[in-house]
Amino acid sequence: MPRAQPKSGKAASSKPSGPPAFPGLLEEMTIEEVRAFKARVVVLPLGSTEPHGPHLPYGTDTFQVTRLCREAVAKANARGARALLYPALPITNNANARKLPFALRMGVRTLMTVLVDIATQVKADGVDKIVIVNGHGGNPGAILATLREIAGMDNMPFVCSCEGGRQCAPGFQTPIEHASDHAGESETSRMLSIRPDLVRTAKLGNFPRGKVKVPMLATTDFVRPWHCYLPESAGGETRTSNAAKGETLYVAESDGIAELLVQLAEAKFDARFPYE
């Protein structure tokens, strides 16, 4: 049977066409737009795909870091920074969650290799500065090791990493009432702000956290087995979460990251960078 042909004069797609949502959003740009943009700094978000309790989706970290970086880059580019935003990496380190179903992960060495490869390509494309924005708690150790790896290589860009909370202006008062390091009030409020359709509000609760047998371990670094530390893959009180709290966090954190990008973009790159 012959394949049906599209009717004459009908567009193949009804999707709107045009420029990206804001300057510097790489995945929506054409090659001509990328060349004309003349990027000064690359922004690389790191997310994760892992359990976040009965109330939040697996993509929570990736959704959140993508929203944060989009907002920060849009603000920075409105001030002339010319920051180029890469797509978020949705699979990163997750060794501590390996006993939980479909906690997607790559090895520490694999992530380091990926980051070094991306940095090498960024340099080849003519950009000398990279900001890694981390949105997942399992990544900092590997990121810091990668920064040292890159620092020992020749002809590489300057690479720094940050997380949203560390970039808030001095004196910022968080609206979060119950601190948690995973799927608690902060992450739930952020998701209520950006993807309320994915928050199972009927499942909100105060999720238990495991207690270490050796109190002095609190002063050491160790990898917590998530199925023991957070048996429901979430920890702490979530019933005080709301979208307004999440929006407050995004505004403050994106302002700080935008300021970092503007300052980096304006600074001249030379052999002594980042020092005078």
Please report which confidence band the pLDDT of residue 188 belongs to, taking 50, 70 and 90 as the band edges: very high
Q: Please tell me the predicted confidence (pLDDT) of residue 5.
A: 45
Q: Tell me, yes or no, whether 242 lies in a domain.
A: yes
Q: Tell me, yes or no, whether 107 lies in a domain.
A: yes
Confidence check: pLDDT of 189 > 60: yes
Q: 85 vs 127, 162, 181, 260, CA distance in Å? A: 12, 15, 26, 14
Residue 10 carries which side chain, given as an amino acid letter? K
Question: In angstroms, how far apart are the furthest CA atoms of the chain?
Answer: 75
Q: Tell me, yes or no, whether 18 lies in a domain.
A: no
| pTM of the predicted protein model | 0.91
Q: pLDDT per residue over 236-273, tens digit each?
A: 999 999 999 999 999 999 999 999 999 999 999 999 99
Q: Tell me, yes or no, whether 16 lies in a domain.
A: no
User: The CATH number of the domain where 149 resides is what?
Assistant: 3.40.50.10310
Q: Tell me, yes or no, whether 17 lies in a domain.
A: no
Domain of 101, in residue numbers? 26-266
Give the count of domains, the chain.
1
Per DSSP, the residues of 102-171 read T-----HHHHHHHHHHHHHHHHHTT--EEEEEE--TT-HHHHHHHHHHHHTSSS--EEEEE-GGGGSPTT
Nearest to 186 by CA among 52, 74, 45, 46: 52
Q: Tell me, yes or no, whether 139 lies in a domain.
A: yes
Q: Tell me, yes or no, whether 216 lies in a domain.
A: yes
Q: pLDDT per residue over 163-187, tens digit each?
A: 988 899 899 999 999 999 999 999 9
Q: Tell me, yes or no, whether 273 lies in a domain.
A: no
Confidence check: pLDDT of 13 > 60: no
Q: pLDDT per residue over 117-174, tens digit each?
A: 999 999 999 999 999 999 999 999 999 999 999 999 999 999 999 998 889 989 999 9
Strands 236-237, 206-207: pairing kind: antiparallel
